[in-house]
Structures are given as structure tokens and as C-alpha cells.
Amino acid sequence: MEQASVPTADPITVEVVDLMARLVGLFHREYEEAAAARSLTGAQAKVLALLRRGPMPMRHIAQTLSCEPSNVTGIVDRLEGRGFVTRESDPQDRRVKLVVATDTGLSASSELRESLNFAREPLAALKASERAQLRDLLRRMLDSSARG
């Protein structure tokens, strides 16, 4: 909804968006596969990946994933049931539960990250200088949308 002011995109933008869509499809499949190989689902893997930077309140996880908090409850339940994370209540605010990755959880997540060959093969088609170029372009796109 609400896109009255969208100018018809130029042809290059349209094509880039299309290419992105294909790339997203590829990446997504690879990610799911890599997760499944460690008997994790995609959602579980995503949460574990978030926790690599440290404990995080449920609420924050939900916001990052753009989903309802009640959904996170279930995902964390299953991760907890398998020993990948624990819930600890925040001493600062006893309403919030901090989700903490266990060692098992962290190493599973690291393994998965390492194994993400995605684009390792596709990216091999590019020269080092081109990969750097790609990195810079992507960085700028993401920086701009992080601010937007």
C-alpha cells in the first residue's frame, strides 16, 4: 500500500531487482539446506546467528526478525529444548528474558556460517577486485536502508 509517489523505476533498477530476487532465492535455499544439515530450521538458525553477538531479549529478536513475539517464544522453546540456548531473566528488568546461546549453540552457528558456501561458488566467478567492488556497492545500499 501507500506508494503513490513511486516513480516508474528505470530499466536497470528493474533488472537489478530481478537479479536480486533470483539471488535471494538461491541464498535462501542454501541457507535452509545448510541449517537442515545440522538439523536446524532456517528460523532457528537465524536466531542462533543473532545470538552470536551476545544475549538478546525476546522482544529484540522479534523486532529484528520482524515477527510477533509469540512466534519467537516457540522458536526459542525448541532451541532451548535441544540445548542450543537458555533463557535468563534480566536483573535490570525482571520482565525481560535474555536469550543466551550455549557453547553448543554457538559452535553450531559458527559451523553453519562456515559452511555457507553460497556464493562462494558464484562469487568465485568474480575477480578479487570485482568482489571488492560488489562489497562496496552492497555496503552502500544497506547503509542507506539502515538509515531510511
Partner DNA sequence: ATGAAAGGTTCATGTTGTCAACTGTTCAGC
Partner DNA sequence: GCTGAACAGTTGACAACATGAACCTTTCAT
**Which among DNA, a copy of itself, none contacts residue 110 (Cβ within 5 to 8 A by kind)?**
none
The dihedral sign for the CA sequence 118, 121, 123, 129? positive
Q: Note whether 10 binds DNA by CB under 7 A.
A: no
Residues 115, 40 contacting (CB under 8 angstroms): no
| Enclosing H/E stretch for 94 | none
Helices (H), the chain: 11-36, 42-51, 58-65, 69-81, 103-115, 120-124, 128-147
Question: Of 9-17, 86-94, 120-128, 129-137, which segment contacts DNA by CB under 7 A?
Answer: 86-94
Scan residues 47-76 and list those touching DNA (CB under 7 A). 57-60, 62, 65-76
Q: Note whether 95 binds DNA by CB under 7 A.
A: yes
Q: Note whether 86 binds DNA by CB under 7 A.
A: no
Report the residue number, 12 or 70, with the smaller CB distance to a copy of itself. 12
By the criterion CB under 8 A, which residues form the site for a copy of itself? 1, 3, 6, 9-10, 12-13, 15-17, 19-24, 26-29, 31, 37, 66, 114-126, 128, 130-135, 137-145, 148
Close Cβ partners of 49 (under 8 Å, ≥ 6 residues apart): 109, 112, 113
Residue 36's φ and ψ, nearest 5 degrees, are: -60, -35
3-state secondary structure of 37: coil
Report the residue number, 95 or 127, with the smaller CB distance to DNA. 95
Report the residue number, 38 or 131, with the smaller CB distance to DNA. 38
Report the residue number, 38 or 60, with the smaller CB distance to DNA. 60
